[in-house]
Amino acid sequence: MTAIEILDLEKSYLVGFWRKRAKLALRPLRLTIEEGEVFGFLGPNGAGKTTTLKLLMGLVFPTAGRARILGMEIDDPRVKSQIGFLPEQPYFYDHLSARELLNYYGQLSGMAAKGRSARVEQMLTRMGLSDAAGMQLRKFSKGMLQRVGLAQAIVHDPKVVFLDEPMSGLDPMGRREVRDLIQQMRSEGKTVFFSTHILSDAEALCDRVGVIHQGELRGVGAVAELTSGKQGKVEIIFYAPRVPAGLTSLGAEARVSGDMVNAVLPEEQQDAALEVLRRERLKLISLTPVRSSLEEYYIQKLRPTEGRDKESSKGAGV
Amino acid sequence: MNSRIGYIAFNTFREAVRDRVLYNLIAFALLLSGAAILVGEVSIDIERLVVVNLGLTAVSLFGVVIAIFIGIGLVSKEIEKRTLYTVLSRPVHRWEFVVGKFFGLTGTLVVNTFLMAIGVFLALLYVAHKFEKMDGWVLVALYFIVLQFLIVCALALFFSSFSTPLMSAVFTFALFVIGSLAEDLRGFARITHGVGGRLATAIAYVVPNFSALNVISQVAHGDAVPGRLILYNSVYALLYSAMAIAGAVLIFQHRNLK
């Protein structure tokens, strides 16, 4: 079943002193995300990721187009009890404790009093916040606040979870925790739609990614496919104090790092390169085919294409 | 009351109560009541008059300051800090949020006024050594002050739904001052003719009539407040604040939360 269906959703703002100029924030966006999928929405800052999420949350209103979540229009009040949302750099009511905050959001989400407290305690334990549950949020660190943010997004056990830059500003440990949580959500069968500009996170977590730039969706693809494409090159790593002359003549791009050499060369030269290593009596460490990375896909999608970018620069200022 | 409105109202109340500024204002009001006692002691035979006048004026002014300064931030602060995002992404209608915020602040002011009123009555007991029948009218004056707070909160909420906190404070305070002179404005409108007269009449009837809600001087002199005025003022304050809240909801309903 389709979890999120975005049908030509578009947003422009009126800017300038007299509010007569229209600034396009999101070009007509068409995107479908299946239930149980983890979808990464990639793009540089100001690309339109947050605008898309705000449109789906009903925080801003579309100029044109519509969207459905779990088959319901986004302005259908029933949708809201099925979704969870973590905004970018969230700020919560800092006069409340983590327990009070989760209880408050549980109330607003329509959770029955019976079972709500137990669920709140369960979430606090899951996020590792049990010891600080009674402390006011103004005393929380950024990492702790992010965990509270994730807890509030799923306290009511939603089917679809939207996360806006969930790893932004976190230390490596915090990022690891958030990644684990998203993995858990996936194993629970939740649909996760998250925006990020950290490609390694997207590569590790997502089933599919979409790249957005200048308010325009530039491409959508399955991570497994995008990162499995061979480039017709192999990478050879071996022990040697310098790059053997025979390898350079095979067209290898090589660099010495300590007592190791890392060389990348065309796949058809693989046997000849191994022969050079045998001849020179050098010890091979690894030989792997070079695969395309998500980064290459991302950069390729962000690269300006003549006609489109002329048009987009015109659109942005109109 | 809709349960979500109740939860939002309670959270607003809890936030205000945990805000130290509110406690300071209560302390200041109590100090002012103390000052009333001092003035009462040095005045001859007019202790009651001075205590009621000063005490109720302090209750009114402190309450209005709280209503304006918390009221203007009710919506704008939530947008600025983005706390609103996690509320409106739940099954909460925008109108429920605005109405919940309004009830939360007015609830805070009712509790605040109740505490200040205790201070006023203690001061009265201190200077007069006993309560008299006419002291009952002080309760009516306090009720009218609460009605004023309803209107001020609603106006602050209305302005803050589309304006900056500073401008909202200026607009609300300006309307409070003009509204406190509403009776004079209506008198002026009656004796003015032509376009100026029509304009003065329009302004006089559009601005909230806070002067009709001010019976402090009357009750300080021990005069009774007619039952009809209590009814009219109640209906007027409820209608006026309902209209301001409806305006705030209408604007907020269509606002993009950028």
Query: Going edge to edge, which strands form the sheet with A21-34?
Result: A21-34, A2-15, A64-69, A72-73
B17 burial level (CB within 10 Å; 0-12, 13-18, 19+): middle
**Alpha-carbon distance B246 to B243, whole Å?**
5
Q: Does residue B258 lie in a domain region?
A: no
Residue from B1, B14, B89 whose CB has the most chain A CBs within 10 Å, to mutate? B89
As given in the structure block, the two tokens for residue B112 are 């605040």
Mean pLDDT on A178-187? 92
Alpha carbons B36 and B58: distance in angstroms, whole number: 10
pLDDT of A315 reads 40
Q: Give the distance from residue B175's alpha carbon to the nearest chain A alpha carbon, in angstroms.
A: 27
- CATH class of the domain comprising A230-291: alpha beta
* Cα distance between residue A91 and residue B165, in whole Å: 19
How far is it, in rounded angstroms, from Cα A48 to Cα A301?
15
Residue B9: CB atoms within 10 A of its CB come to: 21
Query: CB–CB of A93 and B82 under 8 A?
Result: no
What topology is assigned to A2-226 in CATH?
A: Rossmann fold (3.40.50)
Q: Are strands A38-42 and A208-213 parallel, antiparallel or unpaired?
A: parallel
A284 — alpha (psi -120 to 50), left (phi > 0) or beta? beta
Whether B8 is covered by a domain: the verdict is yes
What is the three-class DSSP state of B230?
helix
Contact status of B2 with chain A (Cβ, < 8 Å): no
- What's chain A's average pLDDT? 88
Window from A132-141, A197-206, B223-232 with minimum mean pLDDT: A197-206
Rounded to a whole number of angstroms, the distance from the CA of B31 to the nearest CA of chain A is 27
The closest alpha carbon to A239, from A202, A271, A195, A286, belongs to A286
How far does the CA of residue B105 sit from the closest CA of chain A (Å)? 16
Tell me, yes or no, if B1 comes closer than 8 A to chain A by beta carbon: no
Please state the three-class secondary structure of chain A as a single string.
CEEEEEEEEEEEEEECCCCCEEEEEEEEEEEEEECCCEEEEECCCCCCHHHHHHHHHCCCCCCEEEEEECCEECCCHHHHHHEEEECCCCCCCCCCEHHHHHHHHHHHCCCCHHHHHHHHHHHHHHCCCHHHCCCEHHHCCHHHHHHHHHHHHHCCCCCEEEEECCCCCCCHHHHHHHHHHHHHHHHCCCEEEEEECCHHHHHHHCCEEEEEECCEEEEEEEHHHHCCCEEEEEEEEEECCCCCHHHHCCCCEEEEECCEEEEEEEHHHHHHHHHHHHHCCCEEEEEEEEECCHHHHHHHHHCCCHHHHHHHHHHHHC
- Indicate yes or no: CB of B86 within 8 angstroms of CB of A61: no
Mark yes or no for CB contact A54/B83 under 8 Å.
no
For residue B62, the number of C-alpha atoms closer than 13 Å in the C-beta half-sphere is 29
Q: Is B55 exposed, middle or buried (0-12, 13-18, 19+ CB in 10 A)?
A: buried
Nearest alpha-carbon partner for B119 in B201, B62, B198: B62
For testing the chain A interface, which of B86, B94, B108 should be mutated: the one with the most A CBs within 10 Å? Answer: B86
pLDDT recorded at residue A301:
84
Q: Is this prediction's ipTM beyond 0.85?
A: yes
Mapped to the 3 state alphabet, what secondary structure does A264-294 carry?
A: EEEHHHHHHHHHHHHHCCCEEEEEEEEECCH
Enter the DSSP assignment of B81: T
Q: Is the pTM higher than 0.90?
A: no
Three-state DSSP at B226 gives coil
Query: Cβ of A107 and B87 within 8 Å?
Result: no
CB contact under 8 A, B81 and A90: no
d(CA B240, nearest CA chain A) in Å: 29
Largest Cα span, chain B: 62
Q: Are strands A160-164 and A191-196 parallel, antiparallel or unpaired?
A: parallel
Residue A305 pLDDT class (50, 70, 90 cuts)? low
Phi, psi of A146 (to 5 degrees): -65, -35
Which residue ranges does chain A devote to CATH 3.30.70.980?
230-291
The answer to whether residue B63 sits within a structural domain is yes
Residues of A with CB under 8 A from a CB of B: 13, 54, 57-61, 77-78, 80-81, 83-87, 89-93, 95-96, 104-105, 107-110, 149, 152-153, 156, 162
How much is the average pLDDT of A75-84?
Answer: 91
Give domain status of residue B145, yes or no: yes
The answer to whether B93 contacts chain A (CB < 8 Å) is: yes
Order of all β-strands in the sheet with A216-222: A83-86, A160-164, A191-196, A38-42, A208-213, A216-222
pLDDT for position A317: 34
Record: contact B89-A105, CB cut-off 8 A: no
Across the interface, of A80, A92, A96, the residue whose CB is closest to B90 is: A80
Distance from the B98 Cα atom to the nearest Cα atom in chain A, whole angstroms: 14
Number of domains within chain B: 1
- pLDDT for res B27: 72
What's the pLDDT tens digit per position in A227-265?
A: 776 667 888 999 999 998 888 888 888 989 888 999 988
pLDDT at site B98: 95
Give the number of other Cβ atoms within 10 Å of residue B231's Cβ: 10
State pLDDT tens for residues A30-61. 999 999 999 999 998 889 999 999 999 999 99
Q: Residue B183: which domain range?
A: 3-253
Query: Residue A16 carries which side chain, given as an amino acid letter?
Result: G
- The C-alpha atoms of residue B248 and residue B241 are separated, in whole angstroms, by 10
pLDDT over threshold 60, residue A316: no
pLDDT at A201 over 70: yes
Q: What chain B residue is nearest to A103 in terms of C-alpha separation?
A: B7
pLDDT at A318: 30
Which residues of chain A does CATH 3.40.50.300 include? 2-226
Of A93, A105, A107, the CB nearest to B15: A93
Instruction: Record the tokens describing residue A24, joined without a space.
Output: 């396009």
The Cα A180–Cα B94 span in angstroms is 34
Instruction: Give the per-residue pLDDT at B5.
Output: 96
Q: What is the pLDDT of residues A203-212, one digit of tens each?
A: 889 999 999 9
Q: Do B93 and A108 touch (CB under 8 A)?
A: no
What pLDDT sits at residue A313? 43
Closest CA to A135 of A147, A118, A106: A147
User: Are A96 and B11 in contact (CB < 8 Å)?
Assistant: yes
Answer whether B86 sits within 8 Å of A92, measured CB to CB: yes
Please give the Cα distance from A56 to A78 (Å, whole number). 14
- Residues in B closer than 8 angstroms to A109, CB to CB, are 90-91
Residue with tokens 């006026």: B240
The pair of three-digit structure tokens given for residue B18, joined into one six-digit string: 């945990």
Q: Do B83 and A92 touch (CB under 8 A)?
A: yes
Spatial separation of the C-alpha atoms in residues A64 and A84, rounded to whole Å: 24
Dist CA A195 CA A164 (whole Å): 5
CB-CB under 8 Å, A108 with B4 = yes
Contact assignment for A91 to B82 by CB distance below 8 Å: yes
Which residue on chain B is closest to A76 by alpha carbon? B91
Give the residue carrying structure tokens 């009070």. Answer: A100
- DSSP letter (8 states) at residue B256: -
Is B256 in contact with A59 (Cβ distance < 8 A)?
A: yes
Distance of CA A287 to CAs A175, A244, A263, Å?
Answer: 31, 17, 10
Per-residue pLDDT of chain B (258 residues; tens, 9 = 90+): 579 999 999 999 999 888 765 676 677 677 766 776 677 667 666 788 888 888 899 899 989 998 998 899 888 888 888 899 999 999 999 999 999 999 999 999 999 899 888 888 888 888 778 888 888 999 999 999 999 999 999 999 999 988 888 999 999 999 999 999 988 888 888 888 888 888 888 888 899 999 999 999 999 998 999 999 999 999 999 999 999 999 999 999 999 987
